[in-house]
Copies of this chain bind each other. A is one copy, B any other.
Amino acid sequence: MSRTSQTETAVLGALSVMPMTGYAVREAIRDVLGHFWSESYGQIYPTLARLAAAGLVDRDAPDAGAAYRLTPEGLERLRELLAEPVQPSVPRNGLLLRLFFGRHLGVEACRGLLADVRLAAEAQLAGYAAIREGIAAEERTEGDRPFWLLTVSAGEHAARGTIDWAEEALAGLAGMDDPAASQEASPAAPAGAAR
């Protein structure tokens, strides 16, 4: 049973909060889990169809607009899936890839990337504050609240780590002129020219 495409987990999980149409599932995943998860229609609709065929979800009518809801078997299955070991995801960080080869990219461009990422992390941090309030305000979140706040906190810690790192890195690069590699990486052929 390791055929677990985590999409199933995410969809069952979403429906465990409240019954929803497929469209709403997608919106919920984007809006609520957005900072650590994503699903596209191309995944969600076929998954819902399979789940319905397996009796893990159902709906009052097969009409468009009818909400899917979790069956007792679906809840059971969700618990199984959640209990499976976390599968390690492949790390692929385009930013670090660029910085690693920063000698070829040029110090100036690296500074630009770091400045961008620091700004983005600060914006995220502000966003988390808003989400936090939203969760605190909702009454219906009852038993879920501590867990939801946990994931927000993870985002906040990550963002703060990124900000600290970026500032440290910028300070470290501050002194450097565009170095030996300069014969090429510098203003002569500026970033704008390349496509």
Contact = CB atoms under 8 A, between A and B. Distances in A.
Interface of A: 1, 6, 9-10, 13, 16, 33-38, 72, 75-76, 78-80, 82-84, 86-87, 89-105, 109-110, 113, 143-144, 146-148, 150-151, 153-154, 157-158, 160-162, 164-165, 168-169, 172-173, 176, 179-181, 184-185, 190-192, 194-195
A190 B76 contact: yes
A106 B173 CA distance: 46
B82 A98 contact: yes
Indicate how many identical chains form the complex: 2
Contacts of A160: 161
Given A37-B92, A86-B113, 5 more contacts: A13-B101, A75-B192, A82-B101, A86-B94, A89-B94
A109 B96 contact: no
A122 to B, nearest CB: 15
Top 5 nearest A-B pairs (CB, nearest first) are: A161-B161, A102-B147, A157-B165, A36-B93, A36-B96
A54 B184 CA distance: 21
Given A83-B194, A158-B158, A168-B153, A143 B180 contact: yes
A38 to B, nearest CB: 5
B161 A103 contact: no
